[in-house]
Amino acid sequence: MGFETVPFETVDELGACDREDVVVGGLGIVRARLRSIGVITSELNYPEELRPFLGRRLWKTTIDHVNTEVGTWPLFMKPAEGKRFTGCVVAGTRDLIGKGCCGEDFPVICSEVVDFVSEYRCFVRRGEILDVRRYRGDWSKAPDREAIERAIAAYASAPAGYAADFGVTSDGRTLLVEVNDGYSLGPYSLWPELYAQLLSARWAQMVGTDDPCDFGVPVPRM
């Protein structure tokens, strides 16, 4: 695409970058760069417009409360912010201890357990679905196209670039797993040009600069 790429190892090296320079890396280092230029980020997780596509009850609580909500186990749990641990199913206190979640209270998001047999990531740039890629489970269990298209169309407050993860349940339903912002995403073998354009669109939106992909850079079609 004609972009100059400059490798780096630490966030300190990014001080020499211009505001419009897209930083590609892990969540922590990208967020650190955004903070350094005055951009505050937060998790998307479960946007309000997409709640009807979850197909399960969802609630926000804390680790301490999870530890006492015996009647709700098993449940799925993930951090409300950041990546303190990977989202997982917990069946009791032993599971919390195994995740290192005891001794410190912090917000978490919980939901009823759903039996997902396959999971797919839907990449979206400015409301357009670029591609859908499987990242877990049975490859023969494909998601329902119409269900995904309805969800993406309903997401009116969507950022310029993001990924919506969908799962296929053991009883054949296609449900939203979660939504991830587009400034730091695993590509899951998405076509490289499409991946770059998604990151560029979201970065430009967040930092308030022009997206270079709007000026003569074609969007490839698979």
What pLDDT was estimated at residue 198?
A: 97
Instruction: Read off the tokens for 133.
Output: 């890629």
Contact at 8 Å (CB) between 188 and 120?
no
Per CATH, 57-111 and 115-214 having the same topology is answered: no
Query: Any idea what DSSP says for residue 20?
Result: T
What pLDDT was estimated at residue 206?
A: 97
Distance of CA 56 to the CA centre of its chain: 19
Rounded distance, CA 212 to CA 61, Å? 41
Domain boundaries, the chain: 57-111, 115-214
Q: What is the pLDDT along the chain (222 residues), one digit of tens a residue?
A: 888 899 999 999 999 899 999 999 999 999 999 999 999 998 899 999 999 999 999 999 888 888 776 667 788 988 887 777 778 888 877 777 766 666 678 888 999 999 999 999 999 999 999 999 999 999 999 999 999 999 999 999 999 999 999 999 999 999 999 999 999 999 999 999 999 999 999 999 999 999 988 875 544 443
Q: Which amino acid is at 104?
A: E
Rounded distance, CA 83 to CA 162, Å? 18
Assessment of whether the complete model's pTM goes beyond 0.95: no
Question: Residues in the chain, how many?
Answer: 222
Q: Which one of 1.10.10.10, 2.40.110.20, 3.30.470.20, 3.40.50.1100 gives the CATH number of domain 115-214?
A: 3.30.470.20
Rounded distance, CA 194 to CA 170, Å? 31
* Domain spanning 57-111: CATH 3.30.70: no
